[in-house]
């Protein structure tokens, strides 16, 4: 027997010098294999979850980009539609004319108490 093999077998001897039974060794190896398999499964599960979250994050980032682009287009449309020159031209085309300042009246609405709505 080689010296390295003797040191390996010495590791499995009991304190009283008796070798451990094969059953104990097999049980120990099975428990160790189960622990390693469990750790492996947990690691793969964690990696899978990280990958799924990465895909979800990518989709959400794309959605935010699309929303920002839509917002930019809507702001441009608002600026175009509310341009004073455009409104003035449309009003002129509809037969409206500018009003003198002395012809403008401000109408105030008297305060009315709100009525309670019964269910």
One DSSP character per residue, 72-96 reads HHHHHHHHHHT-HHHHHHHHHHTT-
Asked whether residue 72 carries a pLDDT value surpassing 90, the answer given is: yes
Q: Which band of pLDDT confidence, cut at 50, 70 and 90, is reported for residue 111? A: confident
Helix or strand (DSSP H, E) at 24: helix 22-81
Helix or strand (DSSP H, E) at 45: helix 22-81
Asked whether residue 26 carries a pLDDT value surpassing 80, the answer given is: yes
CB 19 within 8 A of CB 12: yes
Span 29-45, pLDDT tens digits: 999 999 999 999 999 99
Span 41-59, pLDDT tens digits: 999 999 999 999 999 999 9
Distance of CA 63 to the CA centre of its chain: 11
């Amino acid at each position: 027997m080689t010296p390295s093999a003797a040191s390996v077998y010495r590791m499995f001897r009991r304190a009283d010098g008796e070798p451990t039974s094969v059953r104990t060794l097999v049980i120990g190896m099975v428990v160790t294999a189960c622990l390693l398999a469990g750790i492996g499964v947990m690691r793969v599960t964690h990696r899978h979850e990280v990958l799924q979250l990465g895909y979800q994050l990518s989709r959400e980032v794309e959605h935010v980009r699309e929303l920002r682009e839509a917002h930019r287009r809507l702001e441009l449309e608002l600026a175009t539609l509310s341009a004073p020159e455009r409104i003035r031209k449309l009003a002129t085309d509809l037969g409206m004319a500018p009003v003198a300042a002395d012809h403008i009246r401000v109408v105030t609405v008297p305060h009315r108490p709100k009525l309670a709505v019964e269910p």
